[in-house]
Amino acid sequence: MKIKGFASLTLAVSLLIAPGLSEASGTTTLDSQGNQVTIDGIPKAKTESKEKFDKPAKVERSTVVDVLDEKGKKLSEKKINKNEVKAEKKADKAEKKAAKEDKKNGKATEGELCILFCGGGTDPDPDDGGGSTDTAKVVTVLIAADEEYRAAHSDWQTLTQNIVENADNAFTRDHNIDFEIKALGQWSSQGANASEILQDMDRDWNGNGYDFVVGFTKDPNFNSGGIAYVYPSSPNGSAVSVNLDQGATNTWHAAQHEFSHNYGLGHDAQGSGIKCIMNYDYSYSVDYWDQDHDNEIEAHKSWYGN
Ligand SMILES: [Ca+2]
Ligand SMILES: [Ca+2]
Ligand SMILES: [Ca+2]
Ligand SMILES: [Zn+2]
């Protein structure tokens, strides 16, 4: 959509400093709500992932979603039903977390039991391994899919819901934060690169009362796997990120990485061997954070939701 005066000034400045993503990383600017932000992202995945999900994602709570047109006008409503994770999927995850096994100390099994016996509760995984304070947080999410993404995926509503509902599983498991989808918007994305497309998303969809607005794009100018604002403190308005269409599995990893940036997290050094979704070497292969980043999420958990 149209670029307004103030925003285009900011844009012009960041264009000078940041013509592409690599240079965009660490760029400081103001977002549409006046927050001082840095822009950070994730490179595209090196390998293709499955285009579709084999099964629906774990949905922690049932929710009613508003479907919005490009102007944010409500077109319809749809219900997303709570969907318990299957035991075998949980086992899969436990396997992936082998590197963390000593830290977890067999707690994955407790988590599994809790799914079976405490499924109706509001605290699905109280004994998680992330050092959670057990304060349950529910954060609201607006999903906006751009015209290229919607053209490529007639099932874009289900697909993007599944991506977000996969991206929040580790937040729920390790930090007791549930991302609840409240709206699905039809976005018209514009911009010459990923940073500009992020800023376009921010201008178009911020300020509507959601904790997070997350974009999904297939715009040919989006030269990144995902991109997000990194906030130094609890932001005014919504936390904003955009992810490239890279298939089901890669895209939800990118979404989890970008949501983590929204909580103020930076990156682990590449080549350090630190297994964390914030390390580019592992961003598309693990779904957990290293201890420092776990601590940081806990410290910033109060930024969003209630
Ligand atoms: Ca979920
Ligand atoms: Ca959720
Ligand atoms: Ca576009
Ligand atoms: Zn990043």
User: How many whole angstroms separate alpha carbon 211 and alpha carbon 300?
Assistant: 13
Measured in Å, how far apart are the chain's first and last C-alpha atoms?
32
Cα(39) to centroid of ligand 4, in Å? 9
128 C-alpha to ligand 1 centroid (Å): 15
pLDDT of residue 225: 98
From the CA of 254, the nearest ligand is: 4
Q: How far is the CA of 61 from the centre of ligand 1 (A)?
A: 9
| pLDDT (0 to 100) of residue 132 | 55
Instruction: Give the pLDDT score at 24.
Output: 52
| Domain boundary assignment for the chain | 36-45+57-80+135-300
Q: Which of 234, 227, 255 is nearest to 305 (CA)?
A: 234
**HSE-up of 192 (CA within 13 Å, CB side)?**
10
Query: In this predicted structure, what is the pLDDT of residue 201?
Result: 98
Q: How far is the CA of 209 from the centre of ligand 4 (A)?
A: 25
Domain 36-45+57-80+135-300 in CATH 3.40.390.10: yes
- Cα–ligand 3 centroid distance for 161 (angstroms): 20
Note the pTM of the prediction, 2 decimals: 0.80
Q: What sign does the dihedral 284-211-228-162 (CA atoms) show?
A: positive
Residues of the chain with pLDDT under 70: 1-25, 86-133
Structure tokens at 14: 């960041």
pLDDT confidence of residue 55: 87
Ligand nearest to the CA of 56: 1
CA of 170 to the centre of ligand 3 (A): 30
Q: pLDDT tens digits, residue range 78-101?
A: 999 999 876 445 555 555 555 455
Q: Across the strands, what pairs with 78?
A: 65
Ligand nearest to C-alpha 245: 3
Which ligand is nearest the CA of 178, by number?
Answer: 2
Predicted pLDDT of residue 261? 98
- Pair of tokens at residue 3: 């670029």
Q: Near ion ligand 3, which residues have CB within 5 Å?
A: 189, 219
